Amino acid sequence: MTPYSSYHEERLLTLLKEGDEAAFTELYNRYWDKLLVVAIHRLAEIEEAREIVQDIFYRLWKRRETLQLDHSLNTYLSVAVKYEVLNRLAAKNRQKQFSTYIARHWQETAQETENYIRFNELQKELASLVNALPEKCRIVYQLSREKGYSQKEIATELSIAEKTVEAHLSVAIRKLKTGLSHLFNALFFILP
């Protein structure tokens, strides 16, 4: 037992302001356990609670010369623990929200990327099938679907009957549907 253990809090605070390390040690020993219990109760994480109490005492030592208390040191330290715990919990909550946002955003981006890749594959397959059509069918299909011509405009452009345009479009669409059916079946089972 040191002589400091018999000193009142006011005397210890005066000595602390003068830089007396033994006075600081006595205050530390008096309040450490109480503050740790409060921090553990609010956080339920012993290591983090120890870190908080350690930080509070570190700041107490750093601010010793300018420390002005309106209430007892016990009240000051208890309030400091309370606010530090609240700050830590708020920071954890922000981190959790940020992690949730990042995870959701990553999933959406991954899904968009996957859809983009599937769409490109579908476009390549369609272009390949269009190029494999008989020449007149391909030309009629491209004028209709890629350039937006009406059947009458295609007939005029190619100097053929509208019924012939209609027949070429029917053949082209039937071949494209058949050629793409395996992709649609695969997409049906893959898509969520």
Q: Is 70 helix (H, G, I), strand (E, B) or coil?
A: coil
Angstrom distance (rounded) from CA 10 to CA 75? 13
pLDDT at 183: 64
Q: What contacts 86, CB < 8 A, 6 or more positions away?
A: none
Q: Domain 3-96 carries which CATH code? A: 1.10.1740.10
pLDDT at 26: 92
Low-confidence ranges of the chain (pLDDT < 70): 1, 182-192
Q: Is 145 helix (H, G, I), strand (E, B) or coil?
A: helix
The residue ranges of every structural domain in the chain are: 3-96, 133-190
pLDDT at 82: 92
pLDDT at 186: 55
- Tens of pLDDT along 83-118? 999 988 888 888 888 888 777 777 777 777 877 787
H-helix or E-strand spanning residue 126: helix 73-132
Q: Which two tokens stand for residue 172?
A: 């082209």
Whole-structure pTM value: 0.51
pLDDT at 119: 78
pLDDT at 21: 92
Q: Is 45 helix (H, G, I), strand (E, B) or coil?
A: coil
133-190 has CATH 1.10.10.10 classification? yes
